[in-house]
Each structure stands twice: as C-alpha cells, then as structure tokens.
A and B are shown apart, each in its own frame.
Chain A
Amino acid sequence: MTSAAPNLLTTDHMASFVARGYLRFDGVVPDAINQKAMVDLPVLLQSWVKQFVALSAGPGAAASAATEHEFDEAAAMQTSNSGTPLYEAYGPETAFGQMIRVPEIAGAILSLVGAAPVFDHSFAHLKPPHDVSWQRLHCDAIVDPNTAFDIQLFWFPHDIAPGAGGTRFVPGSHLRQAHNDDIGRYQHLAGDQYFTGVAGTVLIFHHGLWHAGAPNHSDQLRVMGKLRINPTTSQVRLWDTTDLDERNTHTENLFALSHNRTVASVLRERQPWYNEASYRHELVQRSKLWRYLSGDNKFDVDWYLTRQEMRQRIESSL
C-alpha cells in the first residue's frame, strides 16, 4: 500500500472528527506531488467532461468521442470503476495515488475506513480566476441514515489565500440529516469556514459535512482534488487506541461530575450556529457514532442516552 509506515490517528483526532466532522492536515503533501496535481487534475476534469458530453449525446457519439481524443487515455488512467480497491484505483504513478500514500494521509484513511477501502469517485474542482459565483451549500450524494460513514478528501495542491476560492464548509454539520441541496438557503452560518491554507493541505470530511464552492477573487486558478472513499470492513478501533480505555468514560456528565481529557470532553465541542436544543441532540448523535467506532455500546456524553436506556429496560422487563 505505502512505502512508509502510515501515521495512525490518535484518540484526540478521532474524537475531534466525530465532533466536527472533519480533520485538517496542513501542508502534508510534498511540493513535487502538488505540482503533479496542478498538471494532472485539469486533464482529469477535461476527460470527465468529454465523457459526460459524449454519453449525453448518445451511444454513437460516445463511441466516436472515445476514439477522437487520444490524450484522454492518459487521464482515464487516473480513474476507475467505483468499488475498485483504493490503492489499485490509484497507483503510485498518479497524483492522487501519491497523495494517498503520504504517511499522514494513508494513516488517516486506515484509521477512519480501514485496510480495505474502495474508490467511490474523484473529481477535479477548478475555479477560474475572478469567478465570483458561489455554490449553494449542500452535502454530497443523498441523505444517509447510516452510522457507518465514508470519507471525502479535499486536496488543495497550491496556497489558498482568503477570498481565493477555498471551499466553504460548516463544522459540526456532518450528522445532520439533510438531503443534498435542501440546505442551500443557508447563505451564512455563524462559524462556517472558507478554507485558506498552504499548498499540500488535505481536509478529510465525514461524507455528511455541509460544504460549497466559494468565489475566487484572486488572479490564480483554484485547483482542488476531491476523492470519496468507502469502507468495506469494520471501522471499530482502527486508530492508535493506546489511551482509549482510560479516556472512554461511561458516566461523564457535565451536570454532575466531569473531567478533562476524556473523550466526552472532546465530543462536547459546540458550534456557534447550533441552537441549544439541537446541540443536545448533537451530543446524542456523536455518542452513537462514538459507540460505533469504539465498540463500546455503553459510552455516553452527559447521560442523555443512558437515563433513557435504563428506563427502557425497566419497561421491557414488565
């Protein structure tokens, strides 16, 4: 899979991912790989557009287009059918393939979606200079009630200054049940972010995180490579769990007795756009996701699940 040993995520990373719905790895992709992406990603987009146009025109046109554009073959090598094992879909000769083999990224993939992830799809998102249109807020694919999750990598192979088209995203939105662009009316939410950062930064999103393309006021083409990855095996305790047991308290309750450094203390992170009532349900949803990841079905934050489950057991015993 990788030449260097992957750097597994820590319990803090995982708890933060559950609380915020994303992780951020600043400047981890080396310059040579970023430079390759600046060449390969626009070609990848061209290839996809031609494929889409040809398919839209009908079977005959598709066959014609396939023979017309020889250079597309090189770009097509960067994509695979959905369901292809990830490291087969992207060999080390491709830009995406080199990025996912960076130890920090490989370790995050291993920690979040296991040792046998598969390629879902990838896309090159290009935002021309001075294109100040803005995309409506959305989450990808369709509304998804599952606890098991996909991840999406957002790779920025060049520096992104404020206002230069860095993707907008909403921390803590990943567990909201929302369908695609049904959330498009939210022009602004307190605490939303527009990505800025150095070349080689990768954001890893939970598949449900709300996001949108942003205006590019700069003189530079904004390039971003996105890659969705599906797990095929258990996502339980795949990270460096050295400190997990001591931090994985069951009885942590802010209204009774609470402690620093517990998983619950990380999961309590509140976002500025939450109303109080929804925040409490966020804690319930985060607890359920942490139960899934930790394999500990008694885990709880602030006793919300536990008190109800105790009474449910009483009722069921009658």
Chain B
Amino acid sequence: MLLWLSEPTLSASVLGWAFHDGTAGAGPQPFDTQQLAGDGPDRQSGAGAPYADGVAALIDGWRVIQIAPQRPPVAGSEHMVSVLPNEFVFERMIDIAAG
C-alpha cells in the first residue's frame, strides 16, 4: 500500500493512496479493495481513503518499508511543482491458509 501524506511525517493526513493485493484476492482483504482498486462503480471523487493518516495504518498492522527521501530544492527549479513528495510505502503480511 502506498500513501501520499500532507507532510513528510507519518502523523500527516492522507492525500492519495494506492493498493496492490499480493494475494491476488485469495486472502482476507484488509479493507474495501474494490474501492481502492478504482473500479467501484459508485466511487466518487476523493472518497474511500483507507486511513486518515499514516499512524492509523500502523495501528492497523501495516509496516512502513520505505519513506520518500527528502532532498533540497534543485538550483534553478526551486519553485517547480511535480510529483507528490511525501510518499510512504507499507506492507502487511496476511496468512492465506488461515483465511
């Protein structure tokens, strides 16, 4: 699961999210994955964020495995806007046999 947060700290709120199911649907789903996968017919704009912030994901059993590094602005491009800066990658291990 990837979360993009409003600040470079886990307690910041969720601005964007993505989910990839490593069990290909075989395991219990941690949350409404149809909604997260983007193909829910009733999905409305911005609805369905899995967690309010990064800490809420930790509390629910997710482990942080990568945080976007912080880099100083590039000279000459200090005001450029581009991709979302505060990217956090999480994983959660699920025992498929246990259902």
| Chain A residues near B (Cβ < 8 Å) | 132, 134, 162-163, 175-178, 182-183, 185-194, 214-215, 217, 272-278, 281-282, 284-285
Contact = CB atoms under 8 A, between A and B. Distances in A.
A188 B16 contact: yes
Contacts of B46: 188-192, 272-273
B39 A273 contact: no
A190 B83 contact: no
A164 B20 CA distance: 24
Contact of B42 (A162, A190, A192, A273): A162
Contacts of B85: 275, 277-278
B44 A177 contact: no
B39 A134 contact: yes
30 contacts: A134-B37, A162-B42, A163-B41, A175-B81, A176-B82, A177-B80, A177-B82, A183-B83, A186-B4, A186-B84, A187-B17, A187-B38, A188-B16, A190-B16, A190-B46, A191-B45, A191-B46, A192-B46, A193-B45, A194-B45, A215-B39, A217-B41, A273-B4, A273-B84, A275-B6, A275-B15, A275-B86, A277-B85, A278-B84, A281-B81
A217 B49 CA distance: 22
B38 A284 contact: no
A306 B86 CA distance: 28
Interface residues of B, number: 32
Contacts of B7: 275-276
B69 to A, nearest CB: 15
A162 B16 contact: no
A178 B83 contact: yes
B19 interface: yes
Interface string B17-56: 1110000000000000000111111111110110000000
B31 to A, nearest CB: 13
**Pairs of residues from A and B, 6 with the lowest C-beta to C-beta distance, nearest first:** A163-B41, A187-B18, A217-B41, A190-B46, A189-B16, A215-B39
Contacts of A285: 79-81
A177 B18 contact: no
Contacts of A132: 39
Contacts of B41: 162-163, 215, 217
Contacts of B49: 188, 190
A contact patch SS: loop
Contacts of A188: 16-18, 36, 38, 46, 48-49
B2 interface: yes
Q: Which of B2, B15, B37, B81 has the most CB of A within 10 A?
A: B81
A194 to B, nearest CB: 7
B79 to A, nearest CB: 5
B82 to A, nearest CB: 5
Given A188-B46, A276-B7, 9 more contacts: A176-B83, A178-B82, A185-B18, A189-B46, A190-B49, A272-B15, A272-B46, A273-B46, A275-B6
Contacts of A186: 4, 16, 18, 84
Given A176-B81, A194-B43, A274 B15 contact: yes
Contacts of B36: 187-188
B52 to A, nearest CB: 12
Interface in B39-98: 39-46, 48-49, 79-86
Contact of B44 (A162, A182, A282, A284): A162
Contacts of A277: 85
B53 to A, nearest CB: 13
B5 to A, nearest CB: 8
B89 to A, nearest CB: 10
